[in-house]
Each structure stands twice: as C-alpha cells, then as structure tokens.
A = this chain, B = another copy of it.
C-alpha cells in the first residue's frame, strides 16, 4: 500500500475527564516542558505563541483535573519571579512521555503489520 511508503502513523494520547473535556495531552505536556526550560509560564507561553491567559488557564484546568499543583511560583530573580515544575508535574510528564514512547513503538509495529498488504 502507498501508505507504508509515503504516510506515517502518529499516536496522540490524551486524558479526558468525565465530561469528555481534554485535561492532559500533547499541548499541556509541551507547555510544561517549556516552563521547565524557561522557568517562567509567561516566557513559555510567549515562546509557543500562546497568550499568557490561555497558558495559565490550561495549567489551572490540568491542576484541577489532576488534583495536584503542577507549577510552583518563584519569587524575585532577574526576571522578577517565575515558575518551576512541582515534583508531581515532573513525575506526570515522565509517566506521559514513557507511555507515549511505548505505545508509539507498539503502534508503529502493528501498523506495519496491518497495513502492509493493503
């Protein structure tokens, strides 16, 4: 099948709440990774072309759904305060990345098998 040569499979993992609302997925994960890098939610939002208010809302919604704090505010410093990931956020990111890695690898293998003879 042409698929095997020219198309590639992507796998997206998301956590939904009871109402089907997205609470954690690639977007939140990327935002948290950017906060870790920049040590600031505002800087992270800016580098992703996202409004600070939206970034703040995404983090707040995820915190509420997960029942835990994801960011700790830091005070002072050259940029007048910022944010770092909580240990719980680090553990969550690590679990999500590991899950994505193993599910992705399994999916690619099954994809080759299932689509090879189409």
Contacts and interface: CB of A to CB of B under 8 A. Distances in A.
B8 A15 contact: yes
Given A92-B118, A114-B99, A118-B92, A11 B12 contact: yes
A40 B77 CA distance: 63
B3 A9 contact: no
Contact of A103 (B15, B16, B65, B110): B110
A92 to B, nearest CB: 6
A45 to B, nearest CB: 23
Interface stretch (A17-25, A30-38, A49-57, A78-86): A17-25
A103 B2 contact: no
A95 interface: yes
A107 B104 CA distance: 9
Among all A-B residue pairs, the 5 with the closest Cβ atoms: A2-B67, A12-B12, A7-B15, A103-B107, A95-B114
Interface of A: 1-3, 6-18, 23-24, 65-68, 88, 91-92, 95, 98-99, 102-103, 106-107, 110-111, 114-115, 118
